[in-house]
Amino acid sequence: MPTIIMGKLASKIDGSVRGKAMSFLQKLGADDTAPGLHIEPIQHSADPRVRTGRVDEFWRAVMFRLDGDGDTHYVIHGIWPHDDAITTAQRVRLKVNPINGLPQVEEIEPAFVAMTPPPATTDPESAKPLFARLGHEHADLVDKLGLPEDVATQAAAAADEDAILTLAERHDGWIGTILVDLAAGDDIDAIVQRMQLEKTSSSDDDADVLQSLKRPAAALQFAFIDGQEELRRVIEGGDFGAWRIFLHPEQRRYIDRPYNGPFRLAGGAGTGKTVVLVHRARALAQRDPAARIVLTTFTTNLADALGDSLTQLDPRVPQTKTLGQPGVYVIGVDALAAAVLRTAGNGLAPAMRDVLGEERAAPLSRTAPNLWREVVESTGTSLPPEIANETFLATEYAHVVLPNKVHDETGYLRVRRPGRGVALDRARRRAVWALIDSYRARCRIDGSLDFTEAAAVAASHLAAGEDRPADHVLVDEGQDLSPTHWLLLRAAVEERPDDLFIAEDSHQRIYGSRVVLGRYGIAIVGRSQRLTLNYRTTAQNLRYAMSVLDNGQYVDLQDEPESTGYRSARSGPAPTEVIVDSLSDELQAIVHHVRSWLGAGDAHETVAVLVHDRFHRDRVVTALTEQGVDARAVDRDRPSPGRVPVLTMHRAKGTEFSKVVLAAGKPSPAELERLAMLDPAERADAELRGRSLRYVAATRARDQLVVVQRN
Ligand SMILES: Nc1ncnc2c1ncn2[C@@H]1O[C@H](COP(=O)(O)OP(=O)(O)OP(=O)(O)O)[C@@H](O)[C@H]1O
């Protein structure tokens, strides 16, 4: 049976012909001599391997037939209306690029594409094309990277990054990826290494071309299709499903490579961290079907989205609903703690004693989130407001008291408090402990545990037992997890190769305080890498989002300064900023943009409005609904098709939309009052989190971003 190799261009099939393309390719994959397919060579074609096939009376597929590995292979180049298909088929040639060993589809007499001339300027340095300013020589582009001569010439003449992006978009695949890297100022040798490019002496015969199609960087553009079901998903997924199939060689490496211990993958918003995690979960499950794999993240909503992505990637990967069973257990980290506590049943007493220093029955309920405030208000504490507040106390409890298993005042007077900005003398430590003691007393009476306690108790329970419930733990949104979450995840899997794989972006920390993994038994040393190519966001939106972070002091999970060198492979319109004077103007601006996008044919669910809080969210839904737009507030459930989702910026984490109106709003008077009360170090951290939240929100837009700001 012939093997189908899908080109990326071909996967972007016109919606009207998808069904027929599917049935054509299915038949081709079963038997290329089947009547009706009309697989035919083309007279006077540049490449004798080229074939056309009949999709219907109007559409034709253009393919290359390769015979090698004892099999027939069809590399699907694209599907076009009949006449265009014939012209394309006569002109295209599939060859091995001798400089980098990658497969290359060449067009004889390529269409001339005019480049935007550099803008007139009096400054001789900025008058130079971008690549000249970056020191990239035309000869190196051709001789070291293997860029086709015409592409190298156009790239060398391009005025700026936007012109390069336009060129890269026309050459989707390894050529486009190299152009984007060059525009970001990457060193040519670094690109050669990252893309695993190698000079080759191979010819263009079928076996050599097949070999080149199996090179890591070829996966950016060509995918070997494994069965009919896979074929259906590629065709239906189109451009949105590209992440499932066309992987960057770097992504491929993080998916497949074994690691000797915990591994950390950093990367900005939209760089494909989640994609790597989901693929890696599948790869681990395929490698060992008996493996117990936990795929976890900060919230249940995010976990639902991860589970959905895993199903989209490959519905054959078994997803289990039970901790400790073979398969992939996709779950939010607090729900994981709850599952451990549930499974332990009456056996929790030792862990309770270990963490809290007292006898406690199995927890009956979750501690009310405002209990810290109640404790402060009901206790006549002598502490100043910058310490006697919910933020300080909850953080102190989660970062110092619980991970160190502090049981009493004596223990608290001795404990080290690394990373805590606020210094405490002995008297203040005593006063803080008095509040913590009251908090614990209240929880004891209520029979409740808070989220951080639950994770700590679950961690202690697992650490004391013989059996760990997982063989591999994969973590998304690592920057948001608290110390006791890390203790739990460390205890969930024994120290072994491929135990923990952690994706994080410290620029997206929007919940707790920052954490240093080494303090919780997770030693990354030397096993840390960064993804830098943003797939989601246009370069224009990315620039805007990065500007929100300017001059912020961000630190990663290994206590190192976070870098910001991200690039995007796509370009689009610059974000629009709208300044309004009143709430009604703001609502009007939101409605106006949403309606104009819907009017232009955008599907409801691809357009979203992001707001600061739930109250404003509901107001926006009402305003949209009154103006005849079918809109829906999204909270715990998934966004529903056919309706414009309106979400808080927190809820928007992990989502993406084609077009976004971001109405970030201003902090409420109550919020400002709360911030004013904090210690300067904690206030600075809260401000960083505020910026991160706007960064998260701005990076949800794939194509277009409108920011509405109140004066
Ligand atoms: N190899 C790829 N080819 C095409 N698209 C890709 C590829 N890798 C990732 N993407 C797309 O990029 C987008 C972002 O990917 P993903 O959600 O994995 O990024 P992330 O780093 O986890 O982002 P965030 O931190 O913002 O949640 C998704 O739309 C995904 O489909």
| Cross-sheet strand order for the sheet of 263-267 | 327-332, 292-297, 472-475, 500-504, 263-267, 528-531
Q: Please report, as a single letter, which amino acid is at residue 51.
A: R
Q: Map tokens 């269409």 to a residue.
A: 111
268 lines ligand 1 (CB under 6 A): no
Closest protein CA for atom 27 of ligand 1:
654
* pLDDT of the residue at 16: 82
Query: Would you mind telling me the total number of residues written for the chain in this entry?
Result: 711
- Block means of pLDDT (10 residues each) for the chain, 711 residues, are 86 80 90 92 92 93 90 93 93 93 84 49 70 93 94 93 85 89 90 90 86 91 83 72 82 90 94 95 96 97 95 94 97 97 90 92 84 91 90 94 96 91 90 96 92 96 94 96 97 96 92 86 87 89 89 74 76 93 95 97 96 94 96 89 95 94 86 84 87 94 94 83
State how far the Cα of 425 lies from the Cα of 432, in Å rounded to an integer: 10
How many A from CA of 509 to the centre of ligand 1?
Answer: 18
Closest protein CA for atom 6 of ligand 1:
243
Q: Per residue in 626-638, is it b (16+ CB within 10 Å) or e — as a string?
A: eeebebbbbeeee
State how far the Cα of 146 lies from the Cα of 131, in Å rounded to an integer: 16
Question: What tokens appear for 658 in the block?
Answer: 């084609």
Atom of ligand 1 nearest to the CA of 653: 27
How many A from CA of 177 to the centre of ligand 1?
Answer: 15
| SS3 letters across 280-305 | HHHHHHHHCCCCEEEEEECCHHHHHH
Atom of ligand 1 nearest to the CA of 702: 29
- Which sign does the torsion angle of CA 486, 489, 491, 494 carry? negative
247 lines ligand 1 (CB under 6 A): yes
How many A from CA of 272 to the centre of ligand 1?
Answer: 4
How many A from CA of 452 to the centre of ligand 1?
Answer: 30
State how far the Cα of 188 lies from the Cα of 197, in Å rounded to an integer: 11
User: Mutation test of ligand 1: which of 535, 568, 692 has the most ligand atoms closer than 8 Å to its C-beta?
Assistant: 535
Alpha helices (H) in 381-537, listed in sequence order: 390-396, 409-414, 426-446, 451-464, 483-492
* pLDDT of the residue at 239: 66
* pLDDT of the residue at 532: 86
Atom of ligand 1 nearest to the CA of 241: 31
Binding site per annotation, positions for ATP: 267-274
How many A from CA of 356 to the centre of ligand 1?
Answer: 41
How many A from CA of 269 to the centre of ligand 1?
Answer: 8
Atom of ligand 1 nearest to the CA of 242: 4
How many A from CA of 656 to the centre of ligand 1?
Answer: 9
Closest protein CA for atom 2 of ligand 1:
243
* pLDDT of the residue at 112: 47
Q: Identify the CA nearest to 451 among candidates 535, 505, 512.
A: 512
Report residue 644: phi and psi, to 5°. -75, 120
* pLDDT of the residue at 8: 83
221 lines ligand 1 (CB under 6 A): no
State how far the Cα of 160 lies from the Cα of 142, in Å rounded to an integer: 20
273 lines ligand 1 (CB under 6 A): yes
